[in-house]
Amino acid sequence: MRNTLADKNTLLWRRRKHQIRMIHHDYMTGLGDHYASSTPTVETPSNNVRSPSVISSLNSQDIYLCTTIDLLAASECSADASLTYFHKTVESPFITPYDPANWTIFKDRVVEAATHCSAVASAALAVQELSKARRNCLSHSKALPLYYVACELFEKMMSSGQVGYHIDLVFISAFLVSLFEMLAPQEAHRRPLALGHGPIVDQLKMWSSAEQSQAPLSLRVAAWLLVSHAAAKRSGNPGLLSGNVEDVIASACSRYPQLPPLDNGQNIPLGNHLVSTLSDPLFTFYFQLQLLSTKVTDLSHYHRDRTTGADQEEVSVLMVSLQERMEALWQARPILMRHTASDLRAPLTSIVAMPLIALATLCALTYYTELVEIGRNLSDTQRATSEAIAHLAEARRMISSPDHRPALADNRSDGDGFVHPADLRALFLYAIEGFNESETRWPVSEMRQIKDPVCYSEFSSSRLSPRGWRGSSGRRGGE
């Protein structure tokens, strides 16, 4: 079905590539003119001169040549581009493992929308180029111009006054831009959804307050934005959304106890349909948990100073309330999370049972991770509390389970020695809760097996290696 979709859209995609190329030409021409006017001409010296100044001049020419080639490559990156790599490979570390069926449908919609929407096409190409660069340890020079063009096109679309007719395209573009910002937070500075007022906020308010029901795709992607925002705010980052945008989107999603599933067409295999249907309550649990996680992050030392005893007391009361809400959510968890992997395998075929086992385990793992995070914010001691130790032990049991790894490995591994990127946060918290090197040895060893440059797994494990290990002697109050 996917190949048929790609063939059907080939001609439209070629036209869209030409439009994007022209946009890039305008963008990069200004950049090229700047470099041409600001770079002095360096006269090439004779070969028999070997003074330090001459060598410096030659090095300068080499550097200028290399950077110019990078810029020219960036300007041409969309000329012959397709979204094949995006469709087959690109994932969101905080969405794909928890909503895999709808993520696959979403990528189909992106490829289709890119044939007639420049904002979607540029955003998808930007994410594609960034993902390629991250996986191959290359420069982001091709991806960044695409990101800024995608932001500009998104902002123009939001200012057009006809958002209501293209709301799905708006959310597709918004999510892809935000995904880029998640993967390259130090370089992506445009951040259109971080604006607290203006056409973007106004149009989203109109969408949220509309009397008619919101489209399933828009709602699903809105929920993904909130989940991604929760992840981005950790470790002191400002997040992806302004407070106004977050409130508007959350208000729309709150009207639906369970998000409507995406239409996956008529030709989907029965097994895939069953997985999609049975996994919806699991994603709803994860989504509600991440909304509470955002509130916990807002109370951490990174986002709220506790300069007085009264303020610390207020934070403690709020944290306890959030923990109680998480525990209540756990008590009402879906039935699939109340059974063992063996229980789920008994009535279901492997093609249905394995994805459900993986998702149920990840949701439970996320729950225990959130409780540990609350404990870090509440505790004034350097060592983990007894409750945190118990939660971490449960997390280790799940990650080490013989059912967990094969269920997550899918087609990428036979399951032996495979550690999924979705386990990274739990492993990282396990490591920083350790008081000495011996307690961090297991999580660091596990993190090294992830080997996923997109989610910075190598960087995280290197920070906690014996050479970079600092234990939990620092101030608690966040990851």
**Burial of 147 from C-beta contacts in 10 A (0-12 / 13-18 / 19+):** buried
How far apart (Å, rounded) are the C-alpha atoms in residues 472 and 82? 46
Answer whether residue 143 is part of any domain.
yes
Answer whether residue 218 is part of any domain.
no
Mean pLDDT across the chain: 81
Answer whether residue 221 is part of any domain.
no
- Domain span at residue 288 reads 270-463
Q: Which of 106-120, 216-230, 451-465 has the lowest mean pLDDT?
A: 451-465
The verdict on 48 and 180 lying in the same domain is yes
- Whole-model pTM: value is 0.81
Answer whether residue 428 is part of any domain.
yes
Tokens at 427, concatenated: 């492993």
The verdict on 176 and 287 lying in the same domain is no
Q: Which of 148, 171, 191 is the last residue of a domain?
A: 191
Which pLDDT value is given to residue 209? Answer: 87
Which pLDDT value is given to residue 269? Answer: 82
Answer whether residue 454 is part of any domain.
yes
Which of 448 and 103 is assigned the larger pLDDT? 103
DSSP H or E segment with residue 126: helix 118-135
Tens digit of each residue's pLDDT (9 = 90 or more) over 332-375: 999 999 999 999 999 999 999 999 999 999 999 999 999 999 98
Answer whether residue 342 is part of any domain.
yes
Which of 193 and 22 is assigned the larger pLDDT? 193
Q: Which of 157, 191, 225 is the last residue of a domain?
A: 191
Q: Which of 141, 156, 191 is the last residue of a domain?
A: 191
The verdict on 183 and 276 lying in the same domain is no
Which of 365 and 467 is assigned the larger pLDDT? 365
pLDDT at 475 over 60: no
Q: 159 near 216, Cβ under 8 Å?
A: no
The verdict on 412 and 307 lying in the same domain is yes
Non-local CB neighbours of 109 within 8 Å, separated by 6+ positions: 168, 172, 217, 262
Tens digit of each residue's pLDDT (9 = 90 or more) over 4-61: 554 555 555 555 555 555 555 554 444 444 444 444 444 444 444 456 666 666 667 6
Q: 133 near 123, Cβ under 8 Å?
A: no
The verdict on 397 and 306 lying in the same domain is yes
Distances (CA, A) of 25 to 65, 76, 316: 20, 8, 54
The verdict on 158 and 297 lying in the same domain is no
Distances (CA, A) of 176 to 106, 127, 170, 225, 457: 11, 7, 10, 10, 22
Tokens at 265, concatenated: 């067409």
Tens digit of each residue's pLDDT (9 = 90 or more) over 376-395: 888 666 667 788 889 999 99
Q: pLDDT class for 213, splitting at 50, 70, 90?
A: confident
* Domain count within the chain: 2
pLDDT at 301 over 50: yes
How far apart (Å, rounded) are the C-alpha atoms in residues 466 and 436? 10
Phi/psi region, residue 161 (left: phi>0; alpha: psi -120 to 50; beta: rest), is: left
User: In this structure, which long-range contacts are made by residues 80-86, counting pairs with CB atoms below 8 Å and at least 24 apart in sequence?
Assistant: 80/17, 81/17, 81/125, 81/128, 82/13, 83/13, 83/110, 83/111, 83/114, 83/124, 83/125, 83/128, 84/6, 85/128, 85/131, 85/132, 86/110, 86/111, 86/124, 86/125, 86/127, 86/128, 86/131
Answer whether residue 426 is part of any domain.
yes
- Helix axis angle for 100-113 and 167-183, nearest 10°, is 110
Q: pLDDT class for 261, splitting at 50, 70, 90?
A: confident
Answer whether residue 123 is part of any domain.
yes
Q: pLDDT class for 320, splitting at 50, 70, 90?
A: very high
